[in-house]
Every structure is written in structure tokens, then in C-alpha cells.
Amino acid sequence: MPPARKRPRAYDPARTRAAVLAQFGHVRAAVRTLGPEQLALPTRLGDWTVRDLAAHVGMALTAVDRLLDEPQPMRQDGQLTAWPTAIAADADAIARTAHRLAADHPDLDAHLAEVERRFTERLDTHPGGRLLPTSAGALPLADYVVTRTVELIVHSDDLNAAVPGLDIPYDRQALAAATRLLADALAVRAPGGSTEVRIPPYAVVQCVEGPRHTRGTPPNVVETDPLTWIRLASGRLAWKDALDGAKVSASGERADLGALLPLLG
């Protein structure tokens, strides 16, 4: 396991773009197979149906289009790791828009195809350093695209949970970026070096105030797999349920992350 990161993580824009498009493509292919009865199924997102959720997946990409149409901020005043907790302010508007999009686009595949085309076109014509006015402050376009991996992985998992046998695949690079961003967000929420959180093979961070670990086996260790971490960080899985189900191991008096989760607003 590599040492925990101390400097902001860098993401390769080309790989991130490819990951977003790959995961979006997996969702499109799956949605194309759904019939009316499956699209009407409930999801774990309150009153959202599968149709609402599929329409919302398109918003992961149209958000880039919308923000590029806003005036460019004068300077960067946001941080990528602040995005997960900052999006809470958008929750009600997001839900209303998802319901409207589902009603306005009976042909979901055509809608998602146009969303993908527009997203690709906008990335082709704007540099990665172009600032966007996001809910987490002004962020470069390249950084904001990283957040799209979180949206797509989380909602691919939501769709898989809602439709038996759907089995949308998880692009490895998209899953890695989403895992790392949420792990780094945890380290920002609870700065410190007493607890090591391991999410092999993608991330390891140190967090939580207390005696800093420097050598040997850390006294406080949390370890889980990437999808379980995504579910914990997004509120799809409660900390206690993950422990009871042996989905996460936690050793040491400072290894209880229950009060720090979920991370997504």
C-alpha cells in the first residue's frame, strides 16, 4: 500500500474525459435495454423512478454545458475536494430538473446521445483551465470533469440496485477517480494523521486528529473495497450496516468514521 498523499492529487484530463465517456456509454447501453415496466420501477432515491434516474444521468454531462454558458470567474477560489459537500445546496433543483427531463424526453436514448455529443463538443472547444462557477467555487473545467466520475459511478450503482440483472459495468478509470476524490474529501473534512483509510487498489489517505502515525502498522486502520466506499461516501450504505455486513474492517479507537459519513451533500 503506497503512503497517504500530502499534496493535492493530479488527474490527467485525457484519461478523465475517456473515463467519463466510457461510464456514460455503459449507462446508455443499459438504458437502451429497459422496457416501460423497468423504467417505471422505484429507486432508492425517494420518489425517483428508473426513468427519472436515467434522465438525471444525462445531467452529469449537461452540467458542464450549463456552467460553460455562465460568465467565467476572474480567479479560482474553489477546491476540487470541497465539491462533494458543496452540492447539497443543489439537491432540490436537481430533483425537479430530473423529473422534468424524464417527462420531456420519452426517447431516453436519443436524449442521452445528444447529451454526449454536446459534452464532447464543448470539451473539444474549451481548455481544461477554463474556470467554471460551481457550487464549490470557481474550478477549472478539467477539475470539474473529475466530479462527473462520482456522479456517474454513484448513479450507475443506483440503477443496478433498482433493476434486477441490469449489471451496468464500472469503468476502471472512472471508479478509480471517484474513489480517490471522495477519499481526499474525507481527509479534508477530518484533517489529521491518526487514522489510515485504505481503499485498494485506488486510494489511501490519513485523516482524523490525534497522534500521527509515522512508521510500521498504523494503530487505526479502515479498509474497504471501492464500491463499498462509494456507497458509504454517498449515503447509500450506513457505516454500522457496512461493519455488521463485514463490508468494511475498522481497527483502533479512532477508526470509527460513522460521524464523518456520508460525504456527498
What does pTM read for this prediction?
A: 0.94
Domain 13-175, CATH number (from 1.20.120.1200, 3.40.50.10140, 3.30.420.10, 1.20.120.450):
1.20.120.450
DSSP the chain: -PPPP-SPPP--HHHHHHHHHHHHHHHHHHHTT--HHHHT-B-SSTT-BHHHHHHHHHHHHHHHHHHHTSPPPSS----GGGHHHHGGGGHHHHHHHHHHHHHH-S-HHHHHHHHHHHHHHHHHHS-TT-EEEETTEEEEHHHHHHHHHHHHHHHHHHHHHHSTT------HHHHHHHHHHHHHHHHHHS--SSEEEEETTTEEEEESSSSPP-SSS-SSEEEE-HHHHHHHHHTSS-HHHHHHTTSEEEESTT---GGG-----
* Whole-angstrom distance, CA of residue 212 vs CA of residue 197: 14
pLDDT for the residue 6: 59
Please report the sign of the dihedral spanned by the C-alpha atoms of residue 109, residue 19, residue 229, residue 77.
negative
Q: How confident is the model at residue 213 (pLDDT cuts 50, 70, 90)?
A: low
Domain 178-260, CATH number (from 3.40.1710.10, 3.30.1050.40, 3.40.630.30, 1.10.3720.10):
3.30.1050.40
Angle between helices 91-104 and 50-68 (to 10 degrees): 110
Average pLDDT on 208-212 reads 80
Mind listing the pLDDT tens digit for each residue in 62-118?
Answer: 999 999 999 999 999 999 999 999 987 666 777 777 778 878 888 999 999 999 999
* Whole-angstrom distance, CA of residue 40 vs CA of residue 108: 13
Structure-block grid coordinates of residue 145: 470533469
pLDDT for the residue 3: 45
CB atoms within 10 A of CB 228: 17
Average pLDDT on 226-253 reads 97
Average pLDDT on 184-196 reads 95
- Of 64, 135, 52, the C-alpha closest to 95 is 52
**Whole-number mean pLDDT of the chain?**
92
Enumerate the domain spans of the chain.
13-175, 178-260
* Whole-angstrom distance, CA of residue 21 vs CA of residue 116: 8
